[in-house]
Structure 1
């Protein structure tokens, strides 16, 4: 009887820890990738990181919504058989435009912080990709 209780308790603890480890902050999308943050969520993240004012936050949300509309249009053109090289150049132009707009919204200090964080993220992504290549 004691053995049965011990086994049941161990099974309950194991099941509890297994389900606790599988919760994500954002569930994966249908294609297996993580859901992209909404413009409001991105603005909230920048507000916390860079101490944006209410006006700056509103401008960031508006700019991000416009950027997403452009991206959706461009993806539709690509799926319709667009040129990949032209698409890549257009994407770079859009990134530069976004960066210029953001630079106009943020103060010099905020933009410096933003640039540093972006470079750190790029470095982290690059190191993760290298680890994946060496594992495989």
Structure 2
């Protein structure tokens, strides 16, 4: 009887763990990372958070589509074993250009709020990384 209970408990734990790992596979890419939001989803989120106008939303969708195309082109040009420092610098320049264009679309108050939210997300990512390191 004890063996049967132990076997059932082990099976229940295995099934529970398996379900937890595959909870929402449609939002995961092939490498296991979450799929990035589409430009439209990003614009919708920013519209909700920053109360954007319809014109601002349209401009952000266009800007995000152009940014993604540019980043994809840069990733395609990256050579295996190439100069990662130069590529990092090139991508940072592209991010700075995107930021300047975004600043031109948003009002000063909206941009300030956006910057604060971006910093909070970065802080949260950093604290999660520290938690993961301390668990190991």
Q: Report the TM-score range of the alignment, normalised by the length of the smaller protein.
A: 0.7 to 0.9
| Alignment match, 2:106 | 106
Change (3 A) 1:84 1:22: closer
Query: Does residue 64 of the first structure (1) align with residue 25 of the second (2)?
Result: no
RMSD: 2.3
| Unaligned 5+ runs, structure 1 | 1-14
Change (3 A) 1:79 1:37: farther
Query: Does residue 49 of the first structure (1) align with residue 80 of the second (2)?
Result: no
| Alignment match, 1:11 | none
Shift of 1:83: 1.7
TM-score between both structures, scaled by the size of structure 1: 0.80
Change (3 A) 1:39 1:21: same
Aligned residues: 121
Change (3 A) 1:103 1:26: farther
| Unaligned 5+ runs, structure 2 | 1-14
Moved over 3 A (4+): 18-26, 79-82
| Alignment match, 2:3 | none
